[in-house]
Structure 1
Amino acid sequence: MSKTTTIVREGESCDVTCINPGKVRSLARSLPKASTVERISGIFQIMGDSSRLKILHCLSQGDVCVCDLSAVLGMNVSAVSHQLRLLRALNLVKPKREGRIVYYSLSNQHVGELMKMGLEHEREN
């Protein structure tokens, strides 16, 4: 069992602050680099748009062409293409051209897992 040291401080918002120095050190060491946190934050910002989430959901079902995404979402092709460019810039989706048609898919299984976890979290609440 770890030893807990309690440090009492008077502050502006709390009368008493309890700090476990061992836990604080452990948590501080476990923090990702600032650049990593910034990149992850950017991914969540991009995913924070309802149109882009719908696109990612559709792509989690398999490859879909831009025209079909447009029809499913009720958006024009240029608007869907714009959203796909943003998703592509963060490596969340990837294109594949077959003749005159461009199909998009999720870049990797992590993107699909993020979508799946988000849906599961929402269903539990």
Structure 2
Amino acid sequence: MSKLVLNTKLLKRNIPNVSKAARNAGIRSATIFDLYRGKTRIEHAEVRMLKALADLAGCTMDELIVAEPEPAETFAASIRRWASLPEQKAQIAGPKAGTPSNEEEDIALLKRLPLARDRGAASPKPVGRYAT
């Protein structure tokens, strides 16, 4: 079964300022924005309001309301499908993470690294009227 939705692309293209158009048609702009965002379902909208909206957009009600196909798989079904897959172990630390390290190689690597410069106390430099 398909779901009825508002053709927002058509409305955005044909009605540049929704608030002004709604005011001119005598429709609350909040009602139109609720339909835009899907907060209000099309099935619950008044026919008079949908007809006025179609007139504002310069289209028919058939063009205004389109049928959107339901997704083939629901969210719950996708969770079940992913849960049934075999578990794979991720290598977070890289390809050598599973092998034991050689302590002598690690120490030699650390000795080759450059020494850090002594930067003194880690206090911020005063700025503005408090600077000396």
TM-score higher than 0.5: no
* Larger proportion of strand: 1
- So what's the TM-score if we normalise by structure 1? 0.26
Relative contact order (C-alpha < 8 Å, sep 6+): which is higher?
Answer: 2
- So what's the TM-score if we normalise by structure 2? 0.25
* Larger proportion of helix: 1
